[in-house]
Amino acid sequence: MQALAGFCLLLFVVTVSVVGVRMLLLARRTRGRHELLMGAGMILIGAIGFPGSTASGFGRSVGEMSIPLWFVFTSITQVGLLLIYAFTWQVFRPNESWARTLVVGGGLLMFAGLVTSAIALLGAAPDASSTLVARGGMFVGMPGYSGCFLWSAIEGFVHHRSAKRRLAIGLADPVVVNRFLLWGCFGVAATLINVSSFIGNAIGVDPSSSPLVLVPMGVLGFAASVAMYFAFLPPAAYLARLRASSAAA
C-alpha cells in the first residue's frame, strides 16, 4: 500500500512537471504572461523543489540531512507556489487589491515558516527527527502553502459556475468550462495533500513514511494528476465528447 501511495505521489510530481514544461513552451510561442507564471511555478514545485527537498534527506534524522540543501530547495518550492499565487491573481482577480495582498501574505507566511524551521533544525540534536523538529515552522507556513491551491480551487469553481450559465446560451466553449471545473478539482486535491501532511505533523508521525498520511496523500495525488491531465493534456476523444455533449444539450 505504501508503495502504491508513493507511486501516486510520484505520478503527481511527474504530471505537474509535464504540464509545467508544456506551459513554458506555450509561453515561448505566445509570449503569454499567464502561461509563463503557471509553467515556471509548476516546474519549480514539481521538477526541482520537491525532488531536491527529498534528496536533501529531510524526513530522516537531523544529522543525516543537509540543512542548506533543504533550505535552498524549499525556497525554490516556495517561489514556485508564489508564481501559482500570481497566476491565480492575474487570471481571475487582476484588478483586486485584496488579491495582491493575499499573494504577499501567502509568501510571507511560507518564508516565516521556513526560517522558523531552519533555526530549529540548526539547533537540534543530530539524532532528532527532522520532521518533528521542523514542524513548528511548518505550522506557521502551512496556511501559505495550502492557501495557494485553496484559492485556485475556489476561483475554478466560481468561474465554472459562471461559465456554465454562459454555455447554456451558447456564449462559452465547453472545453473552457470543463477546464475551470478540473482546475478547481486539482486545487482541492492539492490543498488536501497539504492538509494531510499537516495532520501527520500535528499528531507526531513522519508524513514521508507513515501509511496514515501516505495513503490519503497517494489517493489525492492520483486525483490531482487525473484533473491536471484532462485539463492541460486532454486526448482528442475527450475533447470531442465534451463538444458533442454540449451540442446535444
Per domain, the residue ranges of the chain are 2-234
Contact 211, 2 (CB under 8 A): yes
pLDDT tens digit sequence for 172-194: 889 999 999 999 999 999 999 88
Q: How many residues does the chain have?
A: 249
Using DSSP, state whether 219 is helix, strand or coil: helix
Side-chain half-sphere exposure of 36, counting CA atoms within 13 A: 8
The model's pTM: 0.89
Q: What is the second-level CATH architecture of the domain 2-234?
A: Up-down Bundle (1.20)
Q: How many CB atoms within 10 Å of residue 119?
A: 13
Each of the 249 residues of the chain gets a pLDDT tens digit; together they read 556 666 767 788 888 888 899 999 999 998 889 999 999 999 999 889 988 988 898 888 999 999 999 999 999 999 999 999 999 999 999 999 999 999 999 999 999 999 999 999 999 999 998 888 998 998 999 999 999 999 999 999 999 999 999 888 878 889 999 999 999 999 999 999 888 888 877 776 666 666 777 778 788 888 988 998 999 889 999 999 988 887 766
Q: Are 228 and 183 in contact (CB under 8 A)?
A: no
**Contacts of residue 122, Cβ cutoff 8 Å, sequence gap at least 6:** 67
Query: At which residue does the C-alpha cell 513522519 appear?
Result: 206
**Angle of helix 67-92 relative to helix 130-168, nearest 10 degrees?**
20
pLDDT of residue 131: 86
pLDDT value of position 209:
65
Q: What angle do CA 191, 197, 199 make, to 5 degrees?
A: 100
Angle of CA points 232, 107, 11, to nearest 5°:
35
Read off the pLDDT of residues 204-229 as tens digits, 9 standing for 90 and up: 666 666 677 777 878 888 898 899 89
| Residue 171: predicted pLDDT | 82
Check residue 129 and give its pLDDT: 87
Q: What pLDDT, on the 0 to 100 scale, is given for residue 66? A: 95
Q: What is the C-alpha separation between 67 and 128, in angstroms, rounded?
A: 13
Helices within the chain (DSSP H only) = 2-30, 33-42, 50-55, 67-92, 97-122, 130-168, 174-202, 211-232, 236-248
For 66-73, the CB contacts below 8 A with 24+ separation are 67/118, 67/121, 67/122, 70/121, 70/130, 71/114, 71/118, 73/48, 73/49
Number of neighbours of residue 232 by Cβ within 10 angstroms: 21
The pLDDT of residue 248 is 66
Q: Tell the residue number behind the cell numbers 502504491, with chain if given.
A: 4
